[in-house]
Amino acid sequence: MSNDNQVKSFWKSTYKVLEKPFLISEKIVYRFIMAPFRWLLEKIDPLAEKIEGTLFRKILQVSIYPLFLVLCVYIGFELVRGGYTIRSFLGTILLFLVFGAIFAPLEHLIPFSKKWLNDKETPTDVMLFFGHKFWGDYINAPIKLATITLVVQEISPEIGRNIWPMGFNPVLQVFLLLSVKDFFRYWYHRWMHESEFMWSWHAVHHSSTRLYWFNGTRSHPIEGLISSILWGIPLAFIHAPAEIVFVTGILGRTIGRFQHTNMDILAGPLDYIFSSPKNHRYHHSKKIEEGNSNYGGDVIFWDILFGTFHLPKGETPSDDIGIDGMPNYPQTFLGLMLAPFNYRKIKREAEAIETNKKRM
Ligand SMILES: [Zn+2]
Ligand SMILES: [Zn+2]
């Protein structure tokens, strides 16, 4: 065996050993922790058939999205009144539990795709969520804070001191902050699709074969680190009040759950304002021309302005989503964490699979 092959086989066996505990945990989560929830949620499926084509279903489809957006801003300001202006680890977990208790049953009641009710990817998403939370709080946050403080101090902490329109209606301020934040997010997201190196990191988010309320958080932690620094610096110069940042955070999290939800929402004009379930489904399309559109994370009008908006009238996005031409893209927790480092190898293997297919 050549030296090169020996190194390859050493890495292969190390990877297999390292992957074992993750695979076992994923199996335990799927078989035992998720089983009672799956059993309960499946009880809703016959009800979904019963309400098919009824006025009740239509009312749900039209009202849930705007109702939630209004409600989360209202609750956000109520929390501010109660003295909360900082998001905590426990608060985030609690928020996601509340989201899950509402979104998961509704996705079974009014599903956009029945195929997407399959929850095989969920254990990986759960591990990614907690991994992210840990990485975000203990690694990203201090690095982000140190970088932003350094940049702001070096340039001038006074810049932008009077920019923020404090006198505006607070709800308007929330919407303004959401839009400004998303302007930076839009360009970062577009860059991740247009540069192959950046795509190798962002592909983790597009690896999912289904969309549901929870997997908007599926992404590589390094992507999160770079993005939080990139948006954090300009936002630090804006000096928006802490309570506006807090409520904008809650609104952003709510929009994020809807962006990936499998609920068959009819958003109407909101499809042209927010990154909605319908326009974001096109973003996850296997077709490059559809996938390279609708980059908005919270709002969608930057796409409309910069010519990347895709929402053909009278059409429904396909539920066959994921990364085209890469059936070998990893789907396990460790595989996804290492995928950006192995991207060239995965791509070479995928090309070999395609060539073999054509030969047959
Ligand atoms: Zn993307
Ligand atoms: Zn997405």
List Cβ neighbours of 251 (8 Å cut-off, separation of 6 or more): 69, 72, 73, 76, 174, 178, 298
Q: One-letter amino acid identity for 79?
A: L
Q: How many CB atoms lie within 10 A of CB 98?
A: 11
Cα 9 to middle of ligand 2, angstroms: 35
Q: 2-61, pLDDT tens digit by residue?
A: 677 787 788 888 888 888 888 888 888 888 888 889 999 999 999 999 999 999 999 999
Locus of tokens 């239509």: 58
The DSSP call for residue 115 is G
Cα 213 to middle of ligand 2, angstroms: 10
Cα 216 to middle of ligand 2, angstroms: 5
> How many Å apart are CA 331 and CA 334, to the nearest integer?
9
Q: Helix or strand or coil: residue 265?
A: coil
> How many Å apart are CA 244 and CA 76, to the nearest integer?
9
What is the percentage of the chain residues whose pLDDT exceeds 90?
62
Q: Which ligand is nearest to the CA of 217?
A: 2
Cα 289 to middle of ligand 1, angstroms: 12
Cα 234 to middle of ligand 2, angstroms: 24
DSSP assignments along 193-251, one per residue: HHSHHHHHHHHHHHT-SS--TTGGG-S-HHHHHHHHHHHHHHHHHH---HHHHHHHHHH
Cα 192 to middle of ligand 1, angstroms: 7
pLDDT at 359 over 80: no
> How many Å apart are CA 203 and CA 220, to the nearest integer?
9
Cα 284 to middle of ligand 1, angstroms: 7
| Alpha carbon distances (Å) from 79 to 65, 83, 242, 277, 279 | 21, 6, 12, 27, 31
> How many Å apart are CA 273 and CA 106, to the nearest integer?
23
> How many Å apart are CA 151 and CA 232, to the nearest integer?
10
Cα 101 to middle of ligand 1, angstroms: 27
Cα 205 to middle of ligand 2, angstroms: 6
> How many Å apart are CA 301 and CA 178, to the nearest integer?
12
**Can you say whether residue 103 is alpha, beta or left, with left for phi > 0 and alpha for psi between -120 and 50 degrees?**
alpha
Domain boundaries, the chain: 34-324, 325-360
| Alpha carbon distances (Å) from 14 to 11, 19, 143, 340 | 5, 8, 30, 18
Cα 224 to middle of ligand 1, angstroms: 13
Q: Which of these ranges, 148-162, 200-214, 238-252, 277-291, has the smallest mean pLDDT?
A: 148-162
Cα 111 to middle of ligand 1, angstroms: 23
User: For residue 233, what pLDDT band results from cuts at 50, 70 and 90?
Assistant: confident
H/E element holding 32? none
Q: Which ligand is nearest to the CA of 260?
A: 2
Q: What is the pLDDT of residue 22?
A: 83
Q: Return the biggest CA–CA distance within the chain.
A: 73
Q: Which ligand is nearest to the CA of 255?
A: 2
Cα 337 to middle of ligand 1, angstroms: 17
Cα 256 to middle of ligand 1, angstroms: 13
Q: Which ligand is nearest to the CA of 214?
A: 2
Q: 53-92, pLDDT tens digit by residue?
A: 999 999 999 999 999 999 999 999 999 999 887 777 788 8
Predicted model pTM: 0.91
Cα 291 to middle of ligand 1, angstroms: 7
Q: What is the pLDDT of residue 142?
A: 86
Residue whose C-alpha is closest to residue 216's, from 302, 298, 286, 338: 298
Residue whose C-alpha is closest to residue 25's, from 359, 333, 345, 340: 333
Cα 202 to middle of ligand 1, angstroms: 7
Q: Which ligand is nearest to the CA of 202?
A: 1
Q: How many CB atoms lie within 10 A of CB 91?
A: 13
